Structure 1
């Protein structure tokens, strides 16, 4: 039996909750379908030492400030999970859990959302599935030859699992730096490999400044002014306290990217080799958009062309929280509120038409 509602939101993490908040404020009937068994989105799967880039008050969803975590300037992932669970309950958001969306189809004046628990028919869909379920692993020569373990960021939890082992961390972004810093303080023989020298943001820059910079860039582009270069122009790594401490202590030194994997480790461009038990790939993610395959909307780099959050080739579809291409800083807690509000307003206009 097909169920009906005005809007189906796919994904119950931070972006899906922000969308639900604004839809609720506008009195729009909706349902939020989440594949996870519990609240918290991707934060519930993060490594133990992960910290936000900003203080709690600058890491909040619309309508509800994140409480300060006692003794912490930058809240940890567990605190974020608690906040999201409370947010969902406080606003009585209609989340249905352990529902896996398999596909979205055009169905006349509606979109049909096919799930493993039955179908939904809606006049609009907001996709907020994020990227966590689509880790990216680069094609590196010798990757099939390596006999040790290869992990991605999504599988890392704590240094305890690597005591006494030789670990190579690959990636010069925030995840690579934070995981390398985490391992650097433990009984681990660490090698950190990056494509280019690590680019740290100034120590006094955190998520607040990054959000402001991303917003200013979007406004400049919208006004036809010169591109400021966005957050990437400032650097690749936010120097959160653990990263700063490891860097300043000389425990966080990056090596140029290796040329290939061998059976027992890696080979560098000069022919020298380093033995390794584990390689941890901190090499980013791709948007989780497989459920839109039947709509044939995918463009370059797996993205769907959007105007704001709205899909250009399917105006009943909005994408939220995948990165700057769906709103400035929209993949962050503080940044997703504005594009979520804009998406809800556009949908309200669609429903009135």
Structure 2
């Protein structure tokens, strides 16, 4: 059993955690980044094979290092993203410790925090929770356990390609951008049903030439207009945090062209081993892909800062009631852009500045008290 102390501990080595680490190192602050994966970027490597970002490479750079792509208007695939993150950590010599999963985070008497990692403990003055937009735990409804065992079930986090599915009809549950992307892909080879409320769709094609004119405007709106400071932003925040974002790459017309059967009723239970919709329709399917997101499970954070809605009580990632505790990488941490690559660097810079200011204030008080 060992104990280590560091000024700032960052939990999670994704784009948010690495960006925070960059800004803190640049300001001369000691930092340690820990991640449960074996390699930086593994969260992206485990996504489905054809996943691509929804913003072009031109807008996908983290602070201090351009995204390496010959075509700045191409949309990087998930493996390219994973390699970029690993390169980023090496390029800036960020202190990342992989295969290090934090089991419990507690407040220390007298200030600061303690992170339990197996039998070891890391203490810190500041901690940044950067474990991802929607937490660690895939969400699947409880009634999924009552489905016929002959139905193959996969959460989107485990879906890689259509060959994982058995012959027969596929039900995709959840009609946000991941659900529509997967339904469109699967429908090319198997009959497909897509269930879930219509979350809307981006009005233009991502890969079209007209998008090159529209993207700068959309990024500006996502960064500066649709924020937690504006009525339209606060409304969008509630929708996206609790109901999912709009379709981005795949459109309603694309789903119709591949004869995807669209059901806007939610899957609410099981009848005779088969999924049933809220309107009573029973779906005879052989496969289900649950694109139902992730649970906000923060029970490992033993600090009372989680609200009844399951989200941290924070603003721009700062938790006023727990000095020194920060979050980065949350959906709508400040703006719509917070969950997109063009927004993560700004959020991380804000957190790093708050940490530096807090640390300088503490140092000044210490000198004054002497």
- Structures share a fold, TM > 0.5? yes
1:25 equivalent to 2:26? Answer yes
Aligned to 1:63: 64
How many residue pairs were aligned? 344
- CA–CA separation in structure 2 for the residues paired with 1:238 and 1:259: 22
For 1:202-351, list aligned pairs within 5 A: 202-204=203-205, 211-217=219-225, 221-222=228-229, 226-228=231-233, 229-230=235-236, 236-240=245-249, 246-247=254-255, 249-257=257-265, 258-268=267-277, 271-292=280-301, 294-325=302-333, 328-351=336-359
For 1:119-158, list aligned pairs within 5 A: 119-130=121-132, 131=134, 133-140=136-143, 143-147=145-149, 148-158=151-161
- CA–CA separation in structure 2 for the residues paired with 1:305 and 1:269: 33
Structure 2 unaligned segments of length 5 or more: list them: 362-370
**Which of 118, 121, 124 is residue 120 of structure 2 equivalent to?**
118
- Partner SS, residue 49 of structure 1: coil
1:159 equivalent to 2:165? Answer no
- Partner SS, residue 177 of structure 1: helix
How much has 1:230 moved relative to structure 2? 3.5
Write out per-residue CA displacement over residues 208-231 of structure 1, whole angstroms, 9 at most, x where no aligned residue. 655433323355x53xx5435438
How much has 1:304 moved relative to structure 2? 1.3
Write out per-residue CA displacement over residues 177-217 of structure 1, whole angstroms, 9 at most, x where no aligned residue. 0000110112x1211112x3452210246776554333233
Structure 1 unaligned segments of length 5 or more: list them: none
TM-score between the two structures when normalised by the length of structure 2: 0.84
RMSD: 2.7
**Which of 159, 163, 182 is residue 185 of structure 2 equivalent to?**
182
- CA–CA separation in structure 1 for the residues paired with 2:126 and 2:278: 52
